[in-house]
Amino acid sequence: MPHEVIMPALGMAQDSGLIVAWHKRPGDAVSEGDVLFEVETDKATMEVEAQTDGFLLQVRRDAGDDVPVGEVIAMIGDSKEDVQAEESPADAPLPADTDLPTGREVIMPALGMAQDSGLIVAWHKAPGDAVAAGDILFEVETDKSTMEVEAGHDGFVAALLAEAGEDAPVGEAIAIISADKPEAPVQRSRKSAPAAAPTAPPAATAPKAAPKAPVPATPPPPARAEVVSEHDRILASPKARRLALEQRLDLNRLVREGYPQPYHVKDLEILRSLPAEAAPGPSSGARRITAQVPSDGFSRFALWAAEQAGLQDDGALLAGLAGASLKSDGAVVAVETPVGTRHYSVPGRQFGDVAETDSGTAVDLVLRDLRSSRIGSVHLGPEDSPVLTVSARGEGFALTLECASHHLTASEAVALLSDFAGRMEQPLRHLL
């Protein structure tokens, strides 16, 4: 029975070994323990001994070759000639695996570091022997040491599927222990096993699968995780938030449109591509109308009021004119000038009844007096109350009414401004 000489795994995680030198020549007689060859691994150079007595035959690899662990590099035969017959074991008629007795399989255990296979040194039980779970069944030699392996099951040795001296891949079934005494216990070598033995990969290819295998793939996540924002805080990346701020983009829009959070920079492109939101309805729009009047009417009136009626306060005059334009039974008008704001209660048409009131009162109308400034035209948008702005323009005044549509209807706004414009042009009408 020829014995295979394989490249042993001498080092940890060793995939291959470099044959430094052969110490025996083909045809030489060798004894178990003789140094056969020297092998260099990533760590050291070591001498490898023959595992059996016989003759060195079929040296397939030369000094200098780098050989994968587990590859057969030579044979040790019983005589100088006995090798050829053993060359093609696969051609021999093979018993089907179904011929094997039933029972518990005993596999080649992984005992050493980075061990891909184990050499069966000896069987301690013969086919048909009774065996207890704690009995030593066989001895196995790994790259590091020789160890005894227990049977693991009570019963009878129904089959030994590898012979002493054979190298079996880790995980391969090498024996069968049956519960009942087998009628025809099997003993064979690995070579005589059926060719289609998918139990384990050949030793030489096993290491390829080892290094840094991928992490088991996590199931692909669904398109995007739906995230509900807590307390109305929008989830967005720092960069997306910063760019939105810089580019005056409103992330709330993405929320309203139903795009899932969190938002990233590329979601800003979606935001930019969204059509403008629907035009605001009549209830939420802004109104702005302007008028122009000559200024001399008001100027003359102010002089007259100061001299004849003792009304020195321009603000009160403007508040009275504006308040009267509202056509209500009484109004509070806030007059804003660049120096401050004063509130006036305007109960009716009499200027004498216009009185300053405290600033806490609800304001019906704001009169923004910008006559002393350089500002000619305003477009400030609706505020809390309708706003009448008086500013200087050329020889006269520009009058601007701005309000929200819910403050005044369109016709009320037109009526208010045209009334106020008329009073500013001919303040004496106010007295009529």
| Closest CB to other proteins among residues 237, 409 | 237
**Hey, what are 121's tokens?**
């040194």
| Closest CB to other proteins among residues 213, 362 | 213
- What end-to-end distance do the CA atoms of the chain give, in Å? 137
Closest CB 283 distance from other proteins, rounded Å: 38
Let me know if 84 is exposed, middle or buried by CB neighbors in 10 A (0-12, 13-18, 19+). Answer: exposed
| Closest CB to other proteins among residues 175, 206 | 206
| Closest CB to other proteins among residues 1, 12 | 12
| Closest CB to other proteins among residues 195, 228 | 228
Which residues make up the interface to other proteins (CB under 8 A)? 12-13, 42-45, 113-114, 210-218, 221, 224-225, 227, 235, 237-240, 242, 262, 264-267
Q: Which residue has the tokens 């020789």?
A: 146
Closest CB 168 distance from other proteins, rounded Å: 18
| Closest CB to other proteins among residues 262, 396 | 262
The contacts of residue 386 (CB under 8 Å, 6+ apart) are 364, 365, 366, 401, 402, 403, 407, 408, 413, 416
Task: Report the C-alpha gap between 7 and 211 in whole angstroms.
Answer: 19
Beta strand pairing call for 173-178 and 3-6: unpaired
Closest CB 329 distance from other proteins, rounded Å: 57
Closest CB 316 distance from other proteins, rounded Å: 53
Closest CB 208 distance from other proteins, rounded Å: 12
Closest CA relative to residue 380, chosen from 394, 393, 392, 366: 366
Q: Say if residues 197 and 120 touch (Cβ distance below 8 Å).
A: no
Task: Report the C-alpha gap between 268 and 243 in whole angstroms.
Answer: 8
Q: Which residue has the tokens 């490898």?
A: 48
Task: Report the C-alpha gap between 189 and 397 in whole angstroms.
Answer: 116
| Closest CB to other proteins among residues 90, 217 | 217
Closest CB 241 distance from other proteins, rounded Å: 8
Closest CB 90 distance from other proteins, rounded Å: 29
| Closest CB to other proteins among residues 67, 326 | 67
| Closest CB to other proteins among residues 46, 286 | 46
Closest CB 110 distance from other proteins, rounded Å: 8
Closest CB 15 distance from other proteins, rounded Å: 10
Strand order across the beta sheet in which 146-150 lies = 146-150, 136-141, 117-123, 167-169
Q: What is the dihedral of CA 320, 323, 327, 331, to 10 degrees?
A: -120
Q: What is the dihedral of CA 278, 284, 285, 287, to 10 degrees?
A: 180
Q: Say if residues 392 and 371 touch (Cβ distance below 8 Å).
A: yes
The contacts of residue 69 (CB under 8 Å, 6+ apart) are 6, 7, 8, 9, 14, 15, 16, 17, 116, 203, 204, 207
| Closest CB to other proteins among residues 159, 204 | 204
The contacts of residue 329 (CB under 8 Å, 6+ apart) are 347, 348
Closest CB 19 distance from other proteins, rounded Å: 16
